[in-house]
């Protein structure tokens, strides 16, 4: 007898990671239709932890899939940390999303540390016996450089993402996710009043670049009353941090290599489109 189980969808877990783009979702659908679902869906009990898009598409098209239980989870925080580590290793995750995930990991570990300290303080007050329970293992919270390295980012980039995470209006965050503004420029814009962030995001890329320029000029003028530094900021430029400010060179080199690879792939894709359009245009002319 085949026993079927009902898979539960937890909305928090389903939306914990940024959704796939329309193109990525379509590519996944084509792959599943052509090759089937090769990777097992990860469950915690009957709750789906990893494979939400695959589950939706397999259910839609009647594609068979396998499941696997992760028996190491003891709490939702364990699930979240596993999801973070799992997605940090995926190439398709953007720099901004990796930074956000690294910051979420830090927040979870900090909360665990605070909870542990509270329990230890309570134990010290209520249990004065000489033989108490064995002390719990301390929670290790990575520093920024370690977090950045795990996320394959430079420490500077992670610091910029943290500024955006703390101070950016939701409209500015969406602009970063969509690529309308760079992480570096968004970190500068996040220092501006929220209403200016919202207005610039509504107007688009040009307005966001202009607001980033204004933010950098204001910062430069605050450091130098004479304003000499501000005059050197080119209009619309999205300047990278100075070389001497980069704390983690290997991570920065890796980030730049990924950027070059991404741009190269985009260039090759555009070349193919031009070639196909040229062929189609030639065929259309011949038909005439």
Q: Which of 224-228, 235-239, 278-282 has the highest mean pLDDT?
A: 278-282
Q: What is the CATH number of domain 1-74?
A: 3.90.1530
Q: Are 101 and 84 in contact (CB under 8 A)?
A: yes
d(CA 213, CA 219): 10
Q: What is the mean pLDDT of residues 191-204?
A: 94
pLDDT value at 41 more than 90: yes
Q: Are 240 and 259 in contact (CB under 8 A)?
A: no
d(CA 155, CA 246): 7
Q: Calculate the alpha carbon distances from 80 to 76, 236, 245, 270 in Å.
A: 6, 38, 32, 38
Task: Calculate ∠ Cα 266-270-275, nearest 5°.
Answer: 150
d(CA 142, CA 144): 7
pLDDT-derived band at 66, boundaries 50, 70, 90:
very high
Q: What is the mean pLDDT of residues 60-79?
A: 94
Q: What is the pLDDT of residues 89-148, one digit of tens each?
A: 787 788 999 999 999 999 999 999 998 888 888 887 776 554 555 556 778 888 888 999
Which residue ranges make up each domain of the chain?
A: 1-74, 94-117+139-166, 168-238
d(CA 151, CA 258): 13
What integer pLDDT is reported at residue 234 of this predicted model? 45
């Amino acid at each position: 007898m085949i026993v079927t189980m009902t898979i539960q969808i937890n909305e928090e877990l389903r939306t914990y990671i940024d959704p796939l783009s329309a193109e990525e979702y379509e590519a996944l659908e084509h792959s599943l239709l052509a090759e089937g679902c090769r990777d097992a869906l990860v469950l915690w009990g009957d709750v789906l932890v990893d494979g939400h898009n695959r589950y939706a598409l397999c259910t839609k098209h009647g594609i068979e899939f396998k499941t696997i239980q992760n028996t190491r989870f003891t709490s939702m925080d364990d699930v979240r940390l596993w999801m973070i580590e799992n997605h940090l290793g995926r190439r398709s995750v953007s720099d901004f999303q990796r930074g956000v995930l690294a910051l979420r990991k830090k927040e979870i570990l900090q909360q665990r540390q605070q909870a542990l300290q509270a329990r230890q303080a309570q134990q010290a007050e209520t249990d004065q016996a000489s033989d108490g329970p064995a002390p719990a293992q301390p929670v290790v919270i990575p520093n920024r450089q370690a977090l950045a390295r795990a996320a394959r980012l430079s420490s500077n980039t992670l610091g910029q993402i943290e500024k955006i995470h703390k101070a950016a209006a939701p409209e500015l965050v969406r602009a970063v996710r969509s690529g309308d503004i760079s992480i570096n420029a968004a970190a500068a814009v996040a220092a501006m009043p929220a209403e200016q962030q919202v207005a610039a995001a509504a107007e688009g890329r040009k307005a966001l670049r202009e607001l980033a320029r204004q933010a950098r000029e204001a910062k430069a003028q605050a450091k130098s009353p004479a304003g000499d530094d501000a005059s050197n900021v080119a209009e619309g430029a999205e300047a990278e941090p100075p070389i001497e400010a980069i704390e983690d060179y290997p991570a920065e080199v890796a980030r730049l290599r990924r950027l070059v690879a991404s741009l190269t792939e985009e260039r090759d894709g555009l070349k193919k489109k031009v070639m196909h359009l040229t062929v189609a245009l030639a065929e259309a002319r011949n038909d005439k």
